[in-house]
Amino acid sequence: MILGYVFAVLAAVASGSGSILASIGIRRAGAYAGRSRDLIGVGRQPFYWFGLGVDVLGFLFAAAALHRLPLFLVQSVLAFSVGVTAIIAAILGTRLAPAGWGALGLGALGLVLLGVSADPGPGKVLDTGWRWALVATVIPVLAIAIYARRRTGFWAAPMLAFGAGLGYSFVGIAARTLHIPDSVWPIVFEPTAWAIPLNGIAAAVLFAMALQKSGATAVTAIMFTTNSALSSLIGLVYLDDGVRLGFEGAAVAGFIFAIAGAIGAAHYAAVARHPTQTPTPS
């Protein structure tokens, strides 16, 4: 099962790298105003498409990891991809505060504890009805988007971020329970295979909408927490994900450290990119 750990790490590295590459493309296109014509400029940037391609590669790595490792471990590793983004940004010249490096260290410690406590094994194959239910889960995710789309109150951004985390949770659950047949064609008619892109696209749209209504740190924190906590709970209770005997405390501590580290790294990376300007006293 060592291959599962390798795939999980590669997924985090690819996701973090893809975010950097896509942001470079957006910056070169000057697409900050949220206007529709900005999309044309972004579409002309090779860095943006390269970033998306690396993100897709990261998803494939994550799906391979989920076939071998519990949801609570893989989702925590994926959440820590924001740490990979922060490290790459620091290498490229964005100075990260000491507290940011501390958050990265805390997250890394959490991942080590999770890796030690996780009991590797294949995912549980769901009955046909539950596999179709995973396809239908895109409906409540889209309902959140429709309801919060024109809301301008305080709860609009947290609701959208929660919906994004919900959608990504369903993606992880579908990838964990996906049954890969011996030949290629039967997977076209597999409901779980359709649940992955449907929920993934819906979650990505909600996350982008949430970022337009609030700061990246708060939105990312809600999305990461919802995604990791919900999918991990479902994996442990219903999908036979296991923790090694005697390592329950380490698993809980590792989960808390990993998510807190990812959120902290996201916060300090955002501060590093947009430092607060303090007025000079006269």
pLDDT in tens, 167-203: 999 999 999 998 776 666 777 888 999 999 999 999 9
Domain for residue 192, yes or no? yes
What is residue 190's three-state secondary structure? coil
Q: What's the CA gap between 16 and 175, in Å, rounded?
A: 20
Per-residue pLDDT, averaged over 76-89, amounts to 83
Instruction: Specify whether 226 is located in the same domain as 140.
Output: yes
Domain residues for the domain of 150 are 124-240
Percent of the chain with pLDDT over 70: 86
On the question of pLDDT at 34 being above 60, the answer is no
What is residue 242's three-state secondary structure? strand
Instruction: Specify whether 105 is located in the same domain as 169.
Output: no
Give 280's pLDDT tier (boundaries 50, 70, 90): very low
Beta strand residue intervals within 99-174, DSSP E: 118-119
Sorted by sequence, the CB contacts under 8 Å of residue 137 that are 6+ apart come out as 166, 167, 170, 195, 199
Domain for residue 164, yes or no? yes
What is residue 243's three-state secondary structure? strand
Instruction: Specify whether 118 is located in the same domain as 128.
Output: no
Q: What's the CA gap between 11 and 5, in Å, rounded?
A: 10
Q: Which residues pair with 242 in a beta bridge?
A: 119
Domain for residue 206, yes or no? yes
Per-residue pLDDT, averaged over 264-272, amounts to 77
Answer for the pair 268, 86: CB distance below 8 angstroms, yes or no: yes
Domain for residue 184, yes or no? yes
- SS percent in the chain: helix, strand, coil, step 5: 75, 0, 25
Domain for residue 282, yes or no? no
Per-residue pLDDT, averaged over 106-128, amounts to 88
**Tokens representing 122?**
């294949």
Answer for the pair 257, 110: CB distance below 8 angstroms, yes or no: yes
Specify the pLDDT at position 37: 54
Counting the structural domains of the chain, the total is: 2
Q: What are the Cα distances from residue 144, in Å, to 61, 150, 164, 253?
A: 29, 11, 9, 32
Instruction: Specify whether 103 is located in the same domain as 168.
Output: no
Sorted by sequence, the CB contacts under 8 Å of residue 105 that are 6+ apart come out as 261
Specify the pLDDT at position 279: 41
Domain for residue 281, yes or no? no
Instruction: Specify whether 159 is located in the same domain as 79.
Output: no
Give 228's pLDDT tier (boundaries 50, 70, 90): confident
Instruction: Specify whether 247 is located in the same domain as 211.
Output: no
On the question of pLDDT at 272 being above 80, the answer is no
Instruction: Specify whether 175 is located in the same domain as 99.
Output: no
Q: Give the residue from 150, 4, 174, 168 showing the smallest Cα distance to 74.
A: 4
Answer for the pair 11, 77: CB distance below 8 angstroms, yes or no: yes
Per-residue pLDDT, averaged over 41-56, amounts to 76
Instruction: Specify whether 260 is located in the same domain as 222.
Output: no
Q: What's the CA gap between 4 and 176, in Å, rounded?
A: 12
Domain for residue 79, yes or no? yes
Give 140's pLDDT tier (boundaries 50, 70, 90): very high
On the question of pLDDT at 124 being above 50, the answer is yes
Q: Which backbone phi and psi does 187 adopt, to 5 degrees?
A: -70, -20
Domain for residue 232, yes or no? yes
Q: What's the CA gap between 14 and 58, in Å, rounded?
A: 5
Instruction: Specify whether 75 is located in the same domain as 99.
Output: yes
Instruction: Specify whether 88 is located in the same domain as 154.
Output: no
Between 95 and 12, name the one with better pLDDT. Answer: 12
Instruction: Specify whether 213 is located in the same domain as 249.
Output: no
Mean pLDDT, rounded, of the chain: 82
Instruction: Specify whether 106 is located in the same domain as 167.
Output: no
